[in-house]
Amino acid sequence: MAKRFRELPSKIPIDMTAMIDVVFQLLTFFMLSIKAVVVEGDFNIRMPLGAGAGNPDDLVPPIVVKMMATPDGHLSDVKVGGKGAVGRDLLDALAGADATLEAAMKSGPGNGPQMAAARKAKQRVTDQLTAIIQQQVISALGGDPSRAEHTELELDCDPALRYDHVINAITAASGIVEGDQIVPLIQKIKFSPPKKAQ
């Protein structure tokens, strides 16, 4: 008996090797599977069934943003509420910035700086366009942004139009950026029913 109850050592060494192995495996797994996640956002659009048949409570007529495109998808004209808004030179600059960016992307992944510059240039032109469309939308609201809540925006786009112009117009119409805050503008957005001649 006395032999069995030997004096126990005060510190029992635990073999941690196995645990550390597993822990490092886990760590490696999580480190490798993590991705740089881009922050994304949504725009709600209202496309109820049987589009075209207006809601009876939609007494205010929608603001129509008409965007026309060249056959290769560049923006050729923008009309907000029937009025022409955007100058020829800005549209040309936008098409040019698009083409530059496209060319930079095609030339391969090796030229990051060139691509970043092209992207920045495009962003600059796009911002100008956004500001103009936004002004037009506000003046179509009668200069009173608080009326936006009950107003609907209708996008009438040429089928060939590049989709980022659409998102740009939605951005312009659905909120004003003021510093860190965003003042909401039109929240009800829909596409025009497609034209027959498609």
Partner 1 sequence: MAKKRRDGVSGTDIDMTPMIDVTFQLITFFMFTINFSEAEQDQRVQLPPSQIAKPVQNSDMEPLTLQLMNDGRVIYAGEPVALEALGDYLANELQIIRDAGKQPGDITVVVRADGRSQTGDVQQIIRACQEKEFDKFVLRAEYRAP
Residue 10 in the binding site for partner 1 (CB under 8 A): no
Q: Is 179 helix (H, G, I), strand (E, B) or coil?
A: coil
Question: Can you tell me which residue has the tokens 């496209």?
Answer: 102
β-bridge pairing 152-157 and 175-178: unpaired
Looking at residue 188, what DSSP letter applies? E
Please, which residue, 1 or 180, has the CB nearer to partner 1?
A: 180
Please, which residue, 4 or 110, has the CB nearer to partner 1?
A: 110
Please, which residue, 4 or 13, has the CB nearer to partner 1?
A: 13
When binding is defined by CB under 8 A, the residue of 8, 34, 53, 59 that contacts partner 1 is 34
When binding is defined by CB under 8 A, the residue of 47, 60, 103, 131 that contacts partner 1 is 47
> Residue 34: left if φ>0, alpha if ψ -120 to 50, beta else—which one?
beta
Residue 175 in the binding site for partner 1 (CB under 8 A): yes
Residue 166 in the binding site for partner 1 (CB under 8 A): yes
Residue 74 in the binding site for partner 1 (CB under 8 A): no
Residue 42 in the binding site for partner 1 (CB under 8 A): yes
Residue 148 in the binding site for partner 1 (CB under 8 A): no
When binding is defined by CB under 8 A, the residue of 117, 154, 161, 186 that contacts partner 1 is 161
CB atoms within 10 A of CB 105: 14
Residue 31 in the binding site for partner 1 (CB under 8 A): yes
Helix (H) or strand (E) holding 80, with range, is strand 75-80
CB atoms within 10 A of CB 195: 9
Closest approach, Cβ 74 to partner 1, in A, equals 11
For residue 167, give both structure tokens. 């998102």
Q: Taking CB under 8 A as the criterion, which residues in 112-141 touch partner 1?
A: 123
Q: Is 193 helix (H, G, I), strand (E, B) or coil?
A: coil
Residues whose CB falls within 8 Å of the CB of residue 103, separated by 6 or more in sequence, listed in order: 118
d(CA 36, CA 72): 33
Residue 26 in the binding site for partner 1 (CB under 8 A): yes
Residues that bind partner 1 (CB under 8 A): 16, 19-20, 23-24, 26-27, 30-31, 33-35, 37-45, 47-49, 51, 69, 73, 102, 123, 157-168, 170-171, 174-175, 177, 182, 191, 194, 198
